[in-house]
Amino acid sequence: MSASRLAVPKTAKLLIDGAFVRSESGRYDRVSDHAEVHVGNVPRASRKDVRDAVRAARRAFQPWQARTAYNRGQILYRLAETLERRSEELAGRTSELRGIDRGAAHRELEAAVDILVHYAGWTDKLHAVLGGVNPIAGPFLSFSVPEPSGVVAVLAPPEPDLLGLLAGIAPPLAAGNVVVAVLSERWPLLGLDLGEIVVASDVPGGVVNLLSGRTAELAAVLAEHRDVDSILDGAADVELSATIAGLAAHSIKRLHRIGPESPLGLGQIEPFVEIKTAWHPVGA
């Protein structure tokens, strides 16, 4: 390659319904690294982009829920495999953008892969842990089964960008939900890179939708959208959290908040699961 040849800059795009798209508004935000050097532009998603993403997620919900739990686990594990293969590249970009030590960036990526593997293992265990046959006095069989709540809006924390995003989207996906995620406003580039990994990992279109832009603007639209069933708030903004809670109350959405020290496991999955109990007569 000629020394004078210019590199082809990457065009960052939203991920909606399995396709990479620009914001319908044509707006964009400038992204700077830790030294305030301009390193790229990202689409600034609009209300219309949010509606498109929620519509795509709703279409994808029933087919994703209908897959076997084992198959959903396989897909999440495939996502972990693909992320692992690109971890060297993404750790380098994390270090350059945020100005953190390369070793620390590697540890973040390793933790992100581990989160996906962890929740991939939960998919086929939820029925055994959360469901079961209920002991009752009478000629009836009563049993409970967990079901996903539906479309989950995820607000990623400002940082760690990729690790925080995956900690938010993995638990709802493991339970059979679909996700519309708002990326870190300060560090959106790696979140948009995750879109390429999602598409390459057999995740069906519409199951994961990724939006960059102004968190407060997009969060308010998602909180009042009546086709969003639950919200996972990791944005760590007290004022925004209060606004979201008020808007979500109008349509009785579930609201779950996580922080950087939130433990992994069933406690992060349960907020996005409904327990359905059925009764059936037995005997005479």
More confident call, 263 vs 180: 180
Kindly report which listed range (55-64, 173-182, 250-259) carries the lowest average pLDDT score: 250-259
The residue among 38, 18, 42 whose CA lies nearest residue 28 is: 42
**Tokens coding 136:** 């009752």
Residue 209 has φ and ψ, to the nearest 5°, of: -125, 130
Q: Say what the pLDDT of residue 4 is.
A: 79
User: Residue holding tokens 């739990």?
Assistant: 69
Residue-wise pLDDT for 138-195, tens only, equals 777 877 888 999 999 999 999 899 999 999 999 999 999 999 999 999 999 999 999 9
Q: Say what the pLDDT of residue 162 is.
A: 94
Q: Say what the pLDDT of residue 68 is.
A: 94
8-state DSSP, 127: H
Return the beta strands (E) in 171-223 as ranges: 178-182, 208-211
Biggest alpha carbon distance in the chain? Answer: 87
**Tokens coding 66:** 């209908």
Residue 284 has pLDDT above 60, yes or no: no
Quick check: helix, strand or coil at residue 284? coil
Residue 257 has pLDDT above 80, yes or no: yes
Q: Say what the pLDDT of residue 166 is.
A: 96
**Tokens coding 241:** 């959290």
* DSSP-assigned beta bridge partners for residue 232: 154, 256
- Please compute, for residue 206, the number of CA atoms within 13 A of its CA located in the half-sphere on the CB side: 16
**Tokens coding 196:** 């390429």
pLDDT-derived band at 56, boundaries 50, 70, 90: very high
8-state DSSP, 249: H
**Tokens coding 170:** 């993995």
* DSSP-assigned beta bridge partners for residue 146: 275
**Tokens coding 234:** 């990791």
Q: Say what the pLDDT of residue 2 is.
A: 61
Quick check: helix, strand or coil at residue 37? coil
More confident call, 4 vs 220: 220
Burial of 35 (0-12, 13-18, 19+ CB in 10 A): exposed
99: alpha, beta or left, given left = phi > 0 and alpha = psi -120 to 50? left
- Rg of the chain on CA atoms, in Å: 20
The domain segmentation of the chain, as residue ranges, is 14-24+42-281
- Cα–Cα separations (whole angstroms), residue 229 to 54, 164, 235: 10, 21, 18
Topology given in CATH for the domain delimited by 14-24+42-281: Aldehyde Dehydrogenase; Chain A, domain 1 (3.40.605)
